[in-house]
Structure 1
Amino acid sequence: MARGLKRTLRRWLYIGHRWVGIVTCLFFAMWFISGVVMMYVAFPGLSDKERLAALPHIQWEKVALSPDDAMKAAAATRYPRDLRLSMLADEPVYRMTAWDGKRQAISAADGRTIVNLSEQQALAVARHHRASRSPQLEEIIDRDQWSVTARYDPLRPLYLITLGDDAGTKLYVSSRTGEIALDTNRTERVWNWLGSIPHWIYPAVLRKDGPLWRLVVLWISGICLIVSVTGIWIGILRVRLKRRYASGRITPYRGWMAWHHLTGLIAGIFVLTWMFSGWLSLNPGEYFAGRNTTPEVLQRYAGHDAPTIAAKLPTPQSQAVEARFVWLDGSPMMIVASSDGVQTPLDATSGESAKLTQDRLGAAAAKLLPRAQITEQLILREYDAYWYAHHHDRELPVLRAMFDDDAKTWFHISPVTGDIVGRVDSSRRTYRWMFNALHSFDFQLLLMYRPAWDIVVWLLSILGTIVSVSGVVIGWRYLRG
């Protein structure tokens, strides 16, 4: 009976892998091919450098309101999460982000709340972009393929403006605040249909419903994960390394079946870890901690919660395109940025340079977690396994403050602006190895010698593609007959 049960289970193992694999191999092939595209073309976004480069210089002579006046005009009851001064075309404005994500724009010239930006104002914003040649309004949209995620919700609807440059750049300008929310170019738009969109199963019709999209991807990747496990199991059962088949081969198969079997044995573990880490990227069951710093922690770091910062107008700074108003450990600061992305911290009341020494930053950091102590402070001057810039820009040098709380939390703090630029705890460090390392091969040794990373990922992707495409061919033949 035991032998018969074993034979029956093995038979159903083969049948299940064969028929479920017909569909899932299409997903495997899609993921491996699109993953290679994603190595070189990211999903469209707007970096701080791009945003600052598109802003005109602040016309300080038009600024009639102080930050305090602007917060009063906005009826703020607490100091906002973010408060900055910049230009809306030819008018200086204060832009505020509340702790609940709500955004407001207040004219720094007359204190009125800016709402319902006109088409001409949106085009005026676009004309200041460096790529602008002959900007034209394409349409007013609520969301499209590139602006589908919830991060743009406080800025909708959006003016979609073509700049008329050779790169086919398009800007998304908020009709609520006049901010540039996003830019895309023709290369990004074309290649992402072969990269991020199929890889993340990201068509706008599905992605606009975040919970549904997450559920669909979890189920698809979960089923594919099971198929990869059964494939490795069958591959091991059917291979003969010592007592070979009559033909002298280690596999009983020929043609596409042999390719599928042998490449599956070679690359199976990588297919499995890629599938597992991809499934894990959605944080099933919310097992891993979030990456964001909570409002309570940020407020302790600021040391101030009332909607005030200075009783006078901000000190004019030549060549500044933006001025941010922040609190650091109870001290008000104005951080001015130029169009090339260089940021300079100033004392908000005197306008003099603010010296952000390690001792000062350490004193502010000590208040981040009131029930824990800082065990170590490091100035990182080179990237390491937990602070690196493979897929996005990260500042160097950076201060790492390490705490003795239960989660062993680390905060990364900019020594230039004092901003908290990153937070990781033991849960996120585990996630770094289980997702970033397994899925993106973000190993420090490979990243130090970038061509090595490309070669390794290309080779493994080719093997995974062979496994997948051979499975598609085999499945097609089964369906035909």
Structure 2
Amino acid sequence: MGAAAKAKRLVYLVHRWTGVFACVLIALWVVSGVVMLFIGYPKLLPQERLERLPPLSLAPSCLSVATALQHSTSPDEVLQIVLTSIDGKPVYRIKERGGSFKVVDALQGNVAGAVSSAFALRSAQAFLPASSGTLLGKTQDDRWTHSGALDPHRPLIKVQMDDAQAQLLYISSTTGEVVMAAPRSQRYWNYVGAWLHWVYMFRDGSKDAVWSWIVIVLSAIGSVSALAGALVGIWRWRFRGRYKSGSKTPYRECQMRWHHITGLLFGLVMVLWIFSGLMSMNPLGIFSARAQLDKAGYQKSAIGQVAQSIDTRQALAALQAADFETVEVEWLVLDGRPYLLSQARSGDTRVVQVVNGTYEVREGFSLKELEKTARALSPYAIQDTKLLHQFDAYYYQRGESSMYAGASRSLPVLKIQFSDPGQTIAYLDIRTGKLLLSLDRAQRTGRWLFNLFHSWDLHWMLRYAGLRDFALVLLSIGALALSLTGVVIGFRRLVLSTK
């Protein structure tokens, strides 16, 4: 037997014996993937959180941000200052280096202590005023709270609400605010959706290297099996002529025949889905950014050092005079100049800056301001800038069921291309001044090998969401038929091998 024949025989054997296991796994992935198309993993979207906040109409009585910062470890250690509401009351939420929080009462000035069970219940009921809740205790991590974004809030306090959706709320033990909401129907669907798809039954915590490698190995096996099957299917199909039976496939048995035909029809989609699932795990960090943008240089000053120059009372009074109903404000800094970002329940924003001693309320920043400041993001020159009024291949908005649903993707946005070796692209929000997204060449490659092949998420595809969903469901039905016929064949082979 020649080398080519031996290699071909090896491909047959690989598909035969990996397929016994892989087809079961792939069938589960296909079914759960269809569920995920419509039902996402539980999360609290930014818009949902804002809609629950009361207006900050407390200008005369609110303590200054300078008073709140007196409770911080050091101005240099302050990473974020937000005036928001927890348990229906205004507070300063100060985030320090390392991820720790301090919550300061905006009316009394006292620092909040440990979050008690009674406080957690009140916070949950302030989030859902027409409902009452039952305390279920604390959890460090459970099947719905694997997100790394929740790490600073652990352990989480669970409160079961009696509203129509039977929502399970998770309360931060560090700030007392609701950080996640999981309606009952979403939780149930997720057992056959994201929880099953990502084999979360093997995951222990938000950072679990063992689970990561389990998914990587399973995806690699599935990819090899699917690719081997695609090659076998092509080799066994008579593109010219027919077998003695008169058919173009050599298989006469029903399961084998339809496994071959569905493999030819849906094998490529199957290979791309499984391979892109493997790529989603960023194996060996191949899609990690090679260089980070200098966000500190973009700001030029630590927020804790300059925030005091914007007085809370005067800023809120200016917003009220501009007829803007504020529910949350954040102190930010751009090019060494502090400003206040105000948000309304609708998600609309305003910027407050002090200009020649006067508090001015603006809708955002000029292109000239952002382009000048953006030079500090990288030591490399800016190659190109463009104001986008439509989404592009890398900057786009996903639906509520997507894992990216919480990412802010407003328009218009300033796109900046740097001339660094990775050809980094940055997207700056002209309304808020924030850096919303950055990708270098490695990250953009990951976007194509994972997101496109796995989710079909080009912005023009997402624009026709109904047709995209319909096409994905049809392909999933075909892929399910392929995997289920493989399950039957594999089961019969196992039975025969044991006799």
User: 1:439 maps to what in 2?
Assistant: 454
Is 1:358 paired with 2:347? no
Is 1:429 paired with 2:427? no
> What secondary structure is seen at the aligned counterpart in 2 of 1:405?
coil
User: 2:377 maps to what in 1?
Assistant: 368
> What secondary structure is seen at the aligned counterpart in 2 of 1:390?
coil
**1:337-352 correspondence to structure 2 within 5 Å:** 337-347=343-353, 350-352=358-360
Cα distance in 2 between the residues matched to 1:459 and 1:131: 42
Change (3 A) 1:157 1:445: closer
| Aligned partner letter, 1:360 | E
Of 290, 300, 303 in structure 1, the residue corresponding to residue 300 of structure 2 is: 303
Deviations 1:175-222 (CA, angstroms, capped at 9, x unpaired):
211122111112211111111111111127545552111111011111
**1:278-317 correspondence to structure 2 within 5 Å:** 278-290=277-289, 294=292, 297-305=294-302, 307-311=305-309, 312-315=311-314, 316=316, 317=319
User: 1:405 maps to what in 2?
Assistant: 420
Cα distance in 1 between the residues matched to 2:9 and 2:415: 55
**1:58-457 correspondence to structure 2 within 5 Å:** 58=56, 60=58, 65-78=63-76, 80-130=78-128, 132-203=130-201, 205-206=203-204, 208=206, 210-253=208-251, 254-290=253-289, 294=292, 297-305=294-302, 307-311=305-309, 312-315=311-314, 316=316, 317-318=319-320, 319-347=325-353, 350-354=358-362, 356-369=365-378, 371-391=379-399, 392=405, 394-457=409-472
User: 2:22 maps to what in 1?
Assistant: 24
For the Cα contact (< 8 Å) 2:62–2:313, is it kept in 1? no
> What secondary structure is seen at the aligned counterpart in 2 of 1:176?
coil
Does 263-272 or 67-76 show the bigger shift?
67-76
CA apart distance, 1:42:
1.0
* Paired-residue identity, %: 31
Cα distance in 2 between the residues matched to 1:313 and 1:37: 46
For the Cα contact (< 8 Å) 1:56–1:128, is it kept in 2? no
For the Cα contact (< 8 Å) 1:62–1:92, is it kept in 2? no
| Aligned partner letter, 1:346 | V
For the Cα contact (< 8 Å) 1:409–1:426, is it kept in 2? yes
For the Cα contact (< 8 Å) 2:339–2:351, is it kept in 1? yes
CA apart distance, 1:120:
2.2
| Aligned partner letter, 1:303 | K
CA apart distance, 1:329:
1.1
Unaligned runs of 5+ in 2: 400-404
| Aligned partner letter, 1:102 | S
Change (3 A) 1:418 1:234: same
Change (3 A) 1:356 1:430: same
User: 1:15 maps to what in 2?
Assistant: 13
Cα distance in 2 between the residues matched to 1:359 and 1:21: 58
Cα distance in 2 between the residues matched to 1:227 and 1:63: 67
For the Cα contact (< 8 Å) 1:145–1:204, is it kept in 2? no
Deviations 1:42-77 (CA, angstroms, capped at 9, x unpaired):
111111111111222335268554223322311124
User: 2:402 maps to what in 1?
Assistant: none
Change (3 A) 1:257 1:474: same
For the Cα contact (< 8 Å) 2:59–2:312, is it kept in 1? no
For the Cα contact (< 8 Å) 2:295–2:377, is it kept in 1? yes
Deviations 1:423-461 (CA, angstroms, capped at 9, x unpaired):
122222222211111111123443332232123212221
Cα distance in 2 between the residues matched to 1:30 and 1:131: 39
For the Cα contact (< 8 Å) 1:232–1:264, is it kept in 2? yes
Change (3 A) 1:376 1:8: closer
Tell me the TM-score normalized by structure 1.
0.92
Does 254-263 or 231-240 show the bigger shift?
231-240
For the Cα contact (< 8 Å) 2:151–2:206, is it kept in 1? no
Tell me the TM-score normalized by structure 2.
0.89
Does 188-197 or 98-107 show the bigger shift?
98-107
Unaligned runs of 5+ in 1: none
User: 1:462 maps to what in 2?
Assistant: 477
Cα distance in 1 between the residues matched to 2:148 and 2:415: 30
**Aligned-residue CA RMSD in angstroms?**
2.3
Cα distance in 2 between the residues matched to 1:451 and 1:91: 42
Deviations 1:147-200 (CA, angstroms, capped at 9, x unpaired):
123321211122212232111122211121112211111221111111111111
CA apart distance, 1:328:
1.1
